[in-house]
Amino acid sequence: MLRAGTPTHSPVRRADVLAQQGRYVYERNCVICHGRYGDGRGDMARGMQPKPRRFTAGVFKYRSTPSGFLPSEADLERTIRNGIAGTSMPSFAGLLTQRDIESVIETVKTFSSKWDHAENRSHSLTIPSVPDWFEVDAELQSHARSGAAVYQVNCAPCHGAQGRGDGMAAPNLENDWGEPTPPADLTASTLRCGPGPEDIYRTLVTGLNGTPMPSFLESTTESDRWNLTAWILAARRARAARASSTEGQ
C-alpha cells in the first residue's frame, strides 16, 4: 500500500525502450538516406531515384496489409532484411541483430503519429499458397495466356503492352507528393516487391500506398491474380531468354 506523497511511475513500455535503443541503430545505418528526422532528406538522398522513404508521412509501399493501412512489423523487418531491389535500400541481413531490427522498427514508428492510432493498423491479408502448376512450364504458359487478357485490361495502360513500363499513362503518373512515378518495368531483371510469385501476388492485392498502383483485391478474382502473376513471370523469362540468346551470338 502506498503512503501519502509516495511518487508513482508509469510502467515503461517495451516499445519505448526499443525505440530509444533503435535511435543508435538508426543513426548508424539509416540517417544518411532517410534523414535525422525521418523525412527522407539525408545527406545522400538528393541524387537518389527513387527517393528514400519519408517515415514522417507514414506511407509505405511494400506491405502485407490492405491498401491504405500501415505495414506490419513483419513487413518492415522483411524490408530491412531483404532490402529493395533496384533501389538504394540495401539488405541488412547479417549486419543487424534481431534486437537491432526490432529496435530500429520502433524508432521508425516514432516519426509519424499514424502509428499511435489503431484505425491505421490492420491484420495482414492472407496470401494463398502458390499453385503447383507454377512448377510445370507448360501449365505456367497456359495460365499466362489466360492472364494476358487480365493484364491488358488492368495493367497495360500504365505498364505497357509488353510490361516494359511504357504504357500510355506512364508519362503522367505521380505519387502522393506530386513527384513523377514511372511504372515498373515488369520484365526487368529484378522486381522491387520481391522475386517470387507470392511477392507479385501480394502486391496485386495490397497495391503500393502513395503511388498510382492500386489494389486489385476487389476487382479481380484469386484465379485472375494467379494467371496475371503467371503472365508477368512468363514475360520476364521470355525477355531473359532473348537477352541470353543475343549475348551468345
Q: Is residue 209 part of a domain?
A: yes
Question: Where is the domain boundary, 120, 151, 169?
Answer: 120
pLDDT band at 15 (very low <50, low <70, confident <90, very high): confident
Cis amide linkage into residue 50, ω under 30° from 0: yes
Question: Where is the domain boundary, 95, 120, 145?
Answer: 120
Do 140 and 241 lie in one domain? The reply is: yes
Listed residue (124, 130, 126) closest to 64, CA to CA: 124
Geometric angle at alpha carbon 154, from 148 and 157, rounded to 5° = 100
Do 215 and 182 lie in one domain? The reply is: yes
Do 116 and 159 lie in one domain? The reply is: no
Whether this prediction's pTM lies above 0.85 is answered by yes
In tens, the pLDDT along 91-118 reads: 999 999 999 999 999 999 999 999 999 9
Distance CA 56, CA 110 (A): 8
Decide: 47 and 153 in contact? Cβ < 8 Å: no
Distance CA 233, CA 225 (A): 12
Q: Is residue 72 part of a domain?
A: yes
Residue 2 has pLDDT above 50, yes or no: no
Burial status of residue 120 (CB atoms within 10 A of its CB: 0-12, 13-18, 19 or more): middle
Q: Is residue 4 part of a domain?
A: no
Residue 13 has pLDDT above 90, yes or no: no
Do 106 and 205 lie in one domain? The reply is: no
Give the number of domains in the chain: 2
Question: Where is the domain boundary, 63, 85, 120?
Answer: 120
Decide: 200 and 233 in contact? Cβ < 8 Å: yes
Do 137 and 192 lie in one domain? The reply is: yes
CATH number at residue 112: 1.10.760.10
Do 49 and 141 lie in one domain? The reply is: no
Range of the structural domain that residue 170 is part of: 132-247
pLDDT band at 28 (very low <50, low <70, confident <90, very high): very high
C-alpha distances out from residue 5 to 1, 11, 43, 196, Å: 12, 19, 50, 61
At residue 117, the pLDDT reads: 98
What are the grid coordinates assigned to 159, written together?
505498364
